[in-house]
Amino acid sequence: MKFPRSSGILLHPTSLPGPYGIGELGKEAFRFVDYLRGAGMKIWQVLPLNPTGYGDSPYQSFSAFAGNPLLVSLDNLAAQGLLDTSSLADVPKFPTSQVDFGSVIAFKFPLLRKAAAKFFLSATPSQRDAFERFCRENAAWLDDYALFMAVKDAHHGVVWTSWDAAIAARKPAAMAHWRQKLSAEIDAYKFWQFEFFRQWRALKQHCHHGGIRVMGDIPIYVAHDSADVWANPELFWLDERGNPMRVAGVPPDYFSATGQLWGNPIYRWDLMKQNGYQWWIERFRACFEMFDMVRVDHFRGFEAYWEIPAGEPTAMNGQWIKGPGADLFHTLTRTLPELPIVAENLGVITPEVEAIRHQFEFPGMAIFQFAFSTDPQAPTFRPHNYVRNLVAYTGGHDNDTMFGWWRSGVSDSTRSAADVEKEYADTRDYLGVTREQLDREVNWIFIRHVMMSIADTVLFPMQDVLGLGSEARMNLPGSLGRNWKWRMQPDALRPEHQARLKRFVEMYDR
């Protein structure tokens, strides 16, 4: 599917400012949309909005269908009368530059529980009807998700394979027992989903009023510790106890000499094909209801994926296995009206992967920051080689910021000192600028060159617009403990940045 010529910003909602330790779907999100509109931006790209699990990563979620309750606006709950304003008067002193997920969870979930209890105590008939309609319309995933989370809480958060054996195996009697025992907790999880999607719809509508499309992100894999795997174990390569037999990752690459060991369970593509890829149809359908366009993470995994035996310490000892290929997308096109997909085709890409992408006219991606590396594919990331049906970035959520990259040397990848010096020299020559100019505003020089390219869609991490360094990096693949935390400062939305983006939009017809 081809998209109109436009530009946009990549910013995950958790990175928005606000008083409660994490970005929310409230007034700061609406203010950001207004800022985008004033800058002439036509797209807001977000990362997966699902409830986060291991490492607080949006790519390791407890559900591929649910929304993250931590994004629910507390002020909106108070405005509905579901929280007393006094509950929001004594807020911990959260850091403004990053999310302290442990502290946010400890502060926010008791308030979310209060709001749920108040709703079920005082909801009007029309509010109750709306909630029950939401539950009916989403029962296919919501019932399993709410039960999964309630039982997980009752087992102190351990992975589902460590639960009582009967409920881990979804024995009917155990399912009935836990549904009755945890009915209030299950209802609370359902209410948080009801409220999340109510707030998200309002925000998305505000985007549309401003002429802004929302671009989401669908990870190819799901977390092992998720409602998706627990409720559908037959669709994954698991042993008799539910543990993964084969796990996902990628071989050694730019970011890691030992590859990336993601650990997600591998799909039983043979069984998925037998049932007409129904799980995937519903997953894409849910994404297209949430978003106007969707980036499909690790698109190459549909053609062939890197399979690693469970228990391996790194991703090095894996093998490429053929995936469903075009057959999956033929099925999707017969079922869904359109597929507004962006194929993340970075990394080790083969002609077979590109053939599928071209067959369905999915735009691929180009990362300008990779354009001068020693990778054989680097020239394809240079703007003079772009094509129209493409989504081009200065960098993505896995990259360092532009200033961080320019100053980082060899610290962020497998590059040698000689590689780095050549990369910097080639960058200067290509752009026709001095090192001093790049030292001063490498971010805007790169933004301008991507803007002027023929790529139909261009996107920039908000960190690059703000000119921030490595401290604002969102994710470093293969690392734990410091990722997904960056937050924008309350006064970060500067009018001079907005005006500069708007000038580029007008100059380059975006």
C-alpha distances out from residue 350 to 135, 187, 213, 294, 307, Å: 43, 47, 31, 22, 17
Report if residue 1 sits inside a domain: no
- Is 312 a domain residue? yes
**Domain limits for position 52:** 6-507
Strand order across the 6-10 sheet: 341-343, 293-296, 213-218, 43-45, 6-10, 457-461, 390-393, 364-367
- Is residue 206 included in any domain, yes or no? yes
Cβ–Cβ under 8 Å, residues 263 and 244:
yes
Q: Is the sign of the CA dihedral 364, 200, 52, 27 positive or negative?
A: positive
Residues of the chain short of pLDDT 70, as ranges, are 254-255, 409-415
Q: Which helix (H) or strand (E) holds 274?
A: helix 269-274
Burial of 429 (0-12, 13-18, 19+ CB in 10 A): exposed
The confidence score (pLDDT) of residue 435 equals 93
Query: Domain total for the chain?
Result: 1
> What is the reported pLDDT for 343?
97
Is residue 350 within 8 Å of residue 300, measured between CB atoms?
Answer: yes
Q: Between 183-209 and 101-122, two packed helices, what is the crossing angle to 10 degrees?
A: 100
In the annotation, is 344 catalytic?
yes
> Which parts of 147-253 are beta strand (E)?
213-218, 246-250
- Of 24, 195, 344, 400, which residue is the catalytic one? 344
- Tens digit of each residue's pLDDT (9 = 90 or more) over 32-58: 999 999 999 999 999 999 999 888 999
The separation between the first and the last C-alpha atoms of the chain, rounded to the nearest angstrom, is: 18
Q: Which of 297, 303, 400, 456 is catalytic?
A: 297
DSSP secondary structure letter of residue 186: H
Strands (E), 116-191: none
Q: What does 49-118 look like in DSSP terms, one character per residue?
A: -SPB-GGG-TTSBS-SSS--GGGS-HHHHHHTTSS-GGGGTS-----SSB--HHHHHHHHHHHHHHHHHH
CATH number of the domain within which 287 lies: 3.20.20.80
Q: What is the pLDDT of residue 413?
A: 56
Q: Would 161 be classed as within a structural domain?
A: yes
Active-site residue, from 143, 398, 412, 419: 398
Helical (H) or strand (E) element with 367: strand 364-367
Strand-pair partners of 305: 321
Concerning whether 240 is annotated as a catalytic residue, the answer is no
Taking a C-beta distance cutoff of 8 angstroms, is the pair 50, 36 a contact?
no
| Residue 178 within a domain | yes
The candidate with the shortest Cα–Cα distance to 489, out of 57, 37, 23, is 23
pLDDT at residue 385 in the model:
97
Per the annotation, the verdict on 429 as an active-site residue is no
